[in-house]
Amino acid sequence: MAATFRNVVVWDASRSAAELCDVSIENGMVKAVSQAEGEVKNGDFDGKGKTALIPGFVNAHGHAAMSLLRGLGEELPLMDWLEKRIWPVEARLDGDLVRAGTDLAILEMLASGTTCFADMYFFMDRVAEASLDAGIRCGLSRGIIYDGSDGKLNENLTLAKDFNGEKGLVNIQLGPHAPYTVPFDYMKKVAGSAAENGLGVQLHWLETESEWQLLDLPRDLTPEKYLEESGLLEVSNLLLAHCVWTDPERAEFYARSNVTVAHNPKSNLKLGSGVAPVPEMLAMKVRLAIGTDGAASNNRLDMWDEMRFAALLQKGVRRDPTLMAAKDVLAMATYGGAQGLGFKNCGHIREGCNADMILIDLDRPHYMGWDFESLPWYIVYAGSSEDILMTVVAGKTLYERGEFKTLDEEAVKARALEARKRLTAA
């Protein structure tokens, strides 16, 4: 499919300011980006200088089908929440339920401008199918909680064999859940397997204050040594979700070309986990991304919320309004996440990049006064998902002005409600 967007205000993380451009796409890629000529041909989209075109958001950490678990076990500490409310319900999940929950999550993500999402969960073949049917990009892993067998690792490897690279939309990672659910020796095995198969890894990393102390590890095995000695640093892409309890003085350690930190400010706040040292990591040029985490600990899958929290949280806690510039936050929410999930050619609006983009209506009251320099501030501090006009993945329009092009919204909601009933029935 070919399309041309004229008179659109283009911003991406590689530009110092937004620009008024014409953007043409062909075969799922950006074919050309040039200065707007003002002329509009039949069939072109005319942004009239009042529509922003930016890269789609990449939700870099989450568990999509947890959309079915929203509201369960509110206001409990992380371990109680997991052990008493979440894991017992998750034990009842099956492929159909995961599919229903994933479809529901995809509705929410597309409507709020997310074009790519990370997922670590179960029945991931059904998640891959849901994503491919919807046409959304994704980085998927089978969550591995060690149970004494290789079953889950093998499932993850089968997922890679069946879906890695599918339609250019799916990247598969291995998903060892966390150091507290995967013994160190097994983590080494998973890391070795990822390196051998050319796969990335996503895992939860230092989310809560006490988790590291609970591990039965030699005293001198610091988190940084753990990463080195496990082999995790050898994999092509390592996505570390949370990093709340990283020593800020060790931030430089994480500034490696294959490591991305996925910051989940709302989930960290809601579960009382703490505030990640993101300003230090940003200063050290650590590759950073933003995620929502699952809907049961957020409870929205809305990257606009996440960006605003990421920016405001640090300013308030550190009492320093100069921290977390909006353009950096926007870069984290777009380019950073795409890199973390191994999509090298995503996250910018440039010739030859994948055409993953969103159109934002700047003709709304809260945008009056924007200019090319200040656009990121308007988007991060004043914007919201209600401003999304269109969500495009690989050149295909998946959502436009309240309408889903590849999903039947009412049917998805009905199936999700039915699934929720089955899941939570005593």
Kindly list the residues in this chain that would bind Zn ion in the complex (CB under 5 A): 293
Nearer to Zn ion, 103 or 293 (CB): 293
41 three-state secondary structure: coil
Cβ at position 81, least distance to Zn ion in Å: 12
The smaller minimum CB distance to Zn ion, of residues 265 and 395, is found at 265
User: Which residue lies nearer to Zn ion by CB, 4 or 114?
Assistant: 114
Helix (H, G, I), strand (E, B) or coil at 290: strand
Beta carbon of residue 294, minimum distance to Zn ion (angstroms, whole number): 6
Rounded to the nearest angstrom, the gap between the alpha carbon of residue 96 and the centroid of all alpha carbons in its chain is 23
Whole-angstrom distance, CA of residue 398 vs CA of residue 391: 6
Measure CA 378 to chain center: 22
Smallest gap from Cβ 33 to Zn ion, in A, equals: 35
Could you tell me the smallest distance in angstroms from the CB atom of residue 68 to Zn ion?
Answer: 15
Judged by beta carbon, residue 293 or residue 328, the one nearer Zn ion is 293
Residue keyed to tokens 């990370």: 118
Find the shortest distance in angstroms from Cβ 353 to Zn ion: 28
Query: What residue is closest to Zn ion based on CB?
Result: 293
Query: CB-wise, 8 or 78, nearer to Zn ion?
Result: 78
* CA–CA dist 417, 415 (Å, integer): 5
- Nearest approach in angstroms of CB 378 to Zn ion is 30
- Residue 145: alpha-carbon gap to chain centroid: 21
Give 64-129 as a DSSP string. Answer: GGGGGGTTTTTT--HHHIIIIIIHHHHTT--HHHHHHHHHHHHHHHHHTTEEEEEEEESSHHHHHH
Q: Which is nearer to Zn ion, 211 or 293 (CB)?
A: 293
Structure tokens at 236: 């092509």
